[in-house]
Amino acid sequence: MEAVSVVVEENTASTEEMAASAEKVGQALEGVSAISEENSASVEQVSASTEEMAAQVEEVVASTQSLDQMATELREAVSSFKLSASEAGDSTQLALAIIPSGDPIVTVPQPV
């Protein structure tokens, strides 16, 4: 009988160890699950930030293209007011002004 009692005690101890190990495994799985949820939330935040940045880049590209077009139009408008050195002379100054309507006005003061 004593041998049976020893075997029962060993089995009980082994069962308790297995239960403790199973609990540790369960806790580890809960930890992995929590980390996975945190990672998922981080990925969603990064994705949202990436989408926002892509939209901002598109806005910058559109603004750049618009500014490029404006610069081209301004160069074309100003090019009609260029004078050669012989036309300008030493004592003549050219003043260019843009009135609010956007029409260019050129004034050439008389030499002093």
Domain around 17: 2-82
Residue 71 lies in a domain: yes
Q: pLDDT tens across 74-83, in order? A: 988 888 776 6
Residue 94 lies in a domain: no
Whole-Å CA distances, 90 to 78, 79, 94, 111 = 21, 20, 11, 9
The count of domains in the chain is 1
Residue 106 lies in a domain: no
DSSP class of 105: E
Residue 55 lies in a domain: yes
What pLDDT does 90 receive? 47
Higher pLDDT, 31 or 91: 31
The candidate with the shortest Cα–Cα distance to 94, out of 77, 74, 72, 78, is 78
Residue 11 Cα to chain centre, angstroms: 61
Residue 78 lies in a domain: yes
Percent of residues in the chain assigned helix, strand, coil, to nearest 5: 75, 5, 20
In this structure, what are the phi and psi dihedrals at residue 101, rounded to the nearest 5 degrees?
A: -70, -15
Q: What is the pTM of this model?
A: 0.45
Residue 28 lies in a domain: yes
**Burial class of residue 102 (count of CB atoms within 10 Å of its CB; 0-12, 13-18, 19+):** exposed
Residue 12 lies in a domain: yes
Residue 96 lies in a domain: no
Q: pLDDT tens across 58-76, in order? A: 999 999 999 999 999 998 8
Report the C-alpha gap between 44 and 51 in whole angstroms: 11
